[in-house]
A and B are shown apart, each in its own frame.
Chain A
Amino acid sequence: MEAGDSSGGSAAYWVRRAVSSIIVIWGVATLVFVTLRLVPGDPVESILGEQALEVDKEKLRQCLDLHLSLPVQYGHFMVEVATGTFGELCDQKNVTVRDKLLESIPPTLELAVASMLMAILIAIPLGVISALKRGTWIDAGAAFVSLLGLSMPNFWLGPMLLILFSITLRVLPDPGAGIEGLAGLILPAITLGTALSAKLTRMTRTSVLEVLGQDHVRTARAKGLSERVVVARHVLRNALIPVTTIAGLQLGALLTGAIIVEKVFARPGLGSLLLEAIEMRNYRVVQGCVLVIALTYVVVNLLTDLLYTRIDPRVSLTR
């Protein structure tokens, strides 16, 4: 462990990490390109149907670059990814996939952030309490609830919450009734955040237990500090560092979870866009959605690592 490495070493590390992230992004884009070209049969026919007019088929083939050789298609594709347009739509004039994505990203982001906040607000207190009260019924209860949360599929929890809160109790907006604003965000955020919350509760508990067993905590207690001060100053600070990292790394799971939750609550967003594109067999949009989700995930992971080294100077990522 080269803890407290000179900043030169860590700069080299970050350059290497950035380069490797770019390589991963290139690899991901290439993988998506290759995968979509593996579709058996003629994609044009699968979009338009066999009976479509030859003229229309030809037009779509031109639009999708399918009349070009594979290397040229790949070149075009890479330019579209690098410039971030992800290509033009074939069924609408002068609209690029980027325009579609820009419309869809904000609602999904809103949902993901709300779920993350909800998960953290529940998980951290619950995890800390269950670690401090280890072995009591509170701990056992929290463990059971988290395992339940982990096992509950979000596409089931969503409809159940709707039935309970919107139909039976009528305290939250009706499903389908133009869900707007904060009230409309509550149920989707709970649905999406439950599994994450369960995961984070377990992590927090383990992390707090680990720190509680360390020497510096014993020293703090031996100094005669009150339990409250020991927990707040010496335990929480150290225990929550790995938890924040894990929370950051879970953003990807939230983004794919959003695909399902958006369907359950008929919310607009990246997931709805992807599902609609899959149904319409709109290759470009499918490609764009998958790439955006994967790229976001790679970038967030990189940022989480960066944040981790910032808040915990002991962590040295240089190998």
Chain B
Amino acid sequence: MLDLRWLARSPTALFGALVLTAVLVCALFGPLLAPYARSDRDVTQQLQGPTATHPFGTDENGADMVTEVIHGARVAVLVGLGSVCVSLLVGVSLGALSGYLGGWVDEVIMRVIEMLLAFPGILLAILIIFITQEPSLLTVIFALSLTGWTGYARLVRGQVLVERERDYVEAARALGLPTPTILARHILPNVLGPVIVQATFGIAGAILAEASLSFLGLGPQNTASWGALLNQGANYFLIAQHMALVPGVAIMLTVLSINFIGDALRDHLDPRLATQPQS
């Protein structure tokens, strides 16, 4: 895994890695890097297009867009990583249990998944945010994880169903190892490849989902989310196009970069796809 040669083989993935590094640096050190404080507003410079002092222009309050976009990186990274981590934790454990134990455990988990999957896209998240009224970052992460884990659970369950019949698992059972040990030590390491690939795309999906929620005014309140900036910008797109353009490009570049890396990672980890029959 630590061998990063797969990354170097793909120019697009390399590009993605560069962009993501920049996004991560902004997320970590945002307030130090931003040219202005978020509270800095120059009322004489409202809705300004790009200038030397404000390379991405200013918003309707005269706040600097570079500063806003840098702060937005933190929200995107927190929600993207946060919701995927929660989803992975829940999805991988429940999926593994479901596949390994079978029986009523499997039945119950699969029915719950079916029910949650009846809510397409961000619908359930919208409902959760509706009832919380003042959504925070944690609410949004929770709302997105609520359906997010189901994909990992199904993937892991399918893989575990195959693995549990293998000889090495039989051997572990014969040695009398407890189920959690067999799952964690022996089965999971063998099924993680596709899970990692899916998690990569999951981060991109979560960032888009958070931006969508924020665009609808249902994102984390009082944060500089890119989606919220875009929502704000959409009100002025007749007179100040940069306000919608800048956060949109930030979202797109970030998501595109993650997808680039996901594609390269899949080619690397999933040899079935890499060795497609040559026509």
Residues of A bordering B, CB below 8 Å: 20, 23-25, 27-28, 31-32, 35-36, 38-40, 46, 132, 134, 144, 147-148, 150-153, 155-156, 159-160, 162-163, 167, 209-210, 212-213, 251-253, 255-257, 259-260, 263-264, 274-275, 278, 286, 290, 293-295, 297-298
* B127–A156 CB distance below 8 A: no
* B252–A24 CB distance below 8 A: no
Question: Closest residue of chain A to B214, judged by CB?
Answer: A155
Sample 12 A-B pairs with CB under 8 A, ordered by A number.
A28-B119, A35-B128, A40-B133, A147-B259, A150-B255, A151-B208, A151-B259, A156-B244, A156-B247, A159-B234, A263-B215, A293-B123
* A35–B127 CB distance below 8 A: yes
Per the bound structure, the CA–CA distance linking A257 and B120 in Å amounts to 10
| Main secondary structure on B side of the interface with A | helix
Tally chain B residues at the interface, Cβ within 8 Å. 46
Which residues of chain B (3-20) have a CB below 8 Å from chain A? 12
* A260–B238 CB distance below 8 A: no
Q: Which of B130, B208, B227, B245 contacts A160 (CB 8 A)?
A: B245
Per the bound structure, the CA–CA distance linking A134 and B276 in Å amounts to 11
Q: Is B114 an interface residue (CB 8 A)?
A: yes
The smallest beta-carbon distance between A153 and chain B, in angstroms, is 5
Per the bound structure, the CA–CA distance linking A43 and B237 in Å amounts to 36
| Main secondary structure on A side of the interface with B | helix
Q: Which of A156, A162, A257 contacts B121 (CB 8 A)?
A: A257
Residues of B bordering A, CB below 8 Å: 12, 111, 114-115, 118-123, 126-128, 130-131, 133, 204, 208, 211-212, 215-216, 218, 227, 230-231, 233-234, 237-238, 241, 244-245, 247-248, 251-252, 255-256, 259-260, 263, 276-279
The smallest beta-carbon distance between B62 and chain A, in angstroms, is 22
The smallest beta-carbon distance between B220 and chain A, in angstroms, is 16
Per the bound structure, the CA–CA distance linking A148 and B204 in Å amounts to 13
The smallest beta-carbon distance between B29 and chain A, in angstroms, is 25
Per the bound structure, the CA–CA distance linking A162 and B244 in Å amounts to 12
9 pairs of A and B residues whose beta carbons are closest in the complex = A252-B120, A213-B277, A256-B121, A156-B248, A151-B256, A151-B255, A27-B115, A212-B279, A155-B215
* A153–B251 CB distance below 8 A: yes
Q: Which of B204, B211, B234 contacts A264 (CB 8 A)?
A: B234
* B279–A134 CB distance below 8 A: yes
Given contacts A210-B276, A260-B215, 15 further A-B contacts (CB under 8 A): A20-B114, A32-B127, A39-B133, A144-B12, A147-B263, A151-B252, A153-B255, A163-B237, A167-B238, A209-B279, A213-B276, A251-B120, A257-B121, A290-B119, A297-B118
The smallest beta-carbon distance between A300 and chain B, in angstroms, is 10
